[in-house]
Homo-oligomer: A and B are copies of this chain.
Amino acid sequence: MSNSISLVALRLFVRVAATESFATAARQQGLPASSVSRHIAALEKALGQRLLYRHTRAVRLTEVGERYYQQVREILDTLDIATEQAAGEATHPQGLLRINAPVAFGRRHIAPQLANFQRAYPNIETELTLSDAFIDPVQEGVDVVVRVGALNDSSLVARRLANQHFVVCASPEYLEHWGVPATPDALSEHNCLIYKGTRGKQPWYFRDSGARKYRIREVRGNLRSNNAESLLEAALQGQGIVLFPTWLIHEELSVGRLVPILSAWEASGEPAPQGIHAIFPENRLRSSKVAAFLETLQGAIGEPPYWDA
């Protein structure tokens, strides 16, 4: 009987289905796992159908569970938006806003804005998590995810917050000691600190001012890392030359602890320009909390972004 179904049960089901785990669903909702178990059981009993296969190690949706999950997720989202609107939150947004961002970008450009944001919207509680691994907002139950660089898919909506510019630079001490390279080719004579992530060594791209295509320039050096801030640290200590997006080093550039070089060329860490995006499930598009946050953030960053101005 559809009358014996409870909203919490549906919410929990969606969380369990998204995370494929009773335990993390329980944690996300701040309930004991036992409650989750029982709610799901009650839901299954009400439907007379098994929604999830419980393997010891993993939880998998059954066929009907899969269909039901998709439908219920959509329904709950719609309900939440409708409720939010009715609650007048469209004019005075309130509630919990969960944000996820990359560590470096989040610390530099999200966290500092949060105070402003909270002041403008005192009824919004924010929860900022920083992580560099890609986060699926629907799986994690997060409202907005900020990502730098390429977007893979999907059923998610992205909004460009800013464009990304790279500069080649080094500390004054380094340049004084080793000289300033005059052309990209000259970099082969220098110690270049290279980012090496999951996609291998990040090549350095250059193009003449005004040219359309970037060309790869081979560079070498004695330090590679998958952690940008370590490379930055090394560069500050005069160990070598780095290629970084401006949002990461605008502070160091402005106080002169790093000096841009090769300014006659445009450099990049990507074969094509990449932006900084906010990503969220399609349904969150109309959430006033998300809208308010993005509006504030976009406004604070500006166009061009303040770190490039």
Contacts and interface: CB of A to CB of B under 8 A. Distances in A.
A68 interface: yes
A78 interface: yes
Contact of A71 (B3, B6, B47, B82): B82
Interface string A147-161: 000000000000000
A86 interface: yes
Q: How often does this chain occur in the complex, in copies?
A: 2
A48 interface: yes
B47 A87 contact: yes
A71 B80 contact: no
Interface string A9-25: 01100000000000000
Interface in A72-87: 72, 75, 78-80, 82-87
Contacts of A75: 75, 78-79, 82
Given A2-B80, A75-B78, A79-B75, A86 B7 contact: no
Q: Is the interface of A mostly helix, strand, loop or mixed?
A: helix
A38 interface: no
Interface in A41-85: 46-49, 51, 64-65, 67-68, 71-72, 75, 78-80, 82-85
B6 A83 contact: no
A5 interface: yes
Given A75-B78, A83-B47, A5 B2 contact: no
A48 B88 contact: yes
B48 A87 contact: yes
B83 A5 contact: yes
A256 interface: no
Given A1-B95, A6-B7, A75-B75, A64 B88 contact: yes
A155 to B, nearest CB: 18
B6 A86 contact: no
A205 B5 CA distance: 54
A185 B83 CA distance: 66
Contacts of A85: 64, 67-68
Nearest to A87: B47
Contacts of A6: 6-7
Contacts of A10: 79
A75 B48 CA distance: 22
A78 B82 contact: no
A95 B47 CA distance: 12
Interchain residue pairs A-B with the least CB separation, the first 10? A71-B82, A68-B86, A47-B87, A2-B83, A7-B7, A64-B86, A75-B79, A47-B86, A2-B80, A48-B87
13 contacts: A2-B84, A6-B6, A10-B79, A46-B87, A47-B87, A49-B86, A64-B86, A64-B88, A67-B85, A68-B82, A71-B78, A72-B79, A75-B78
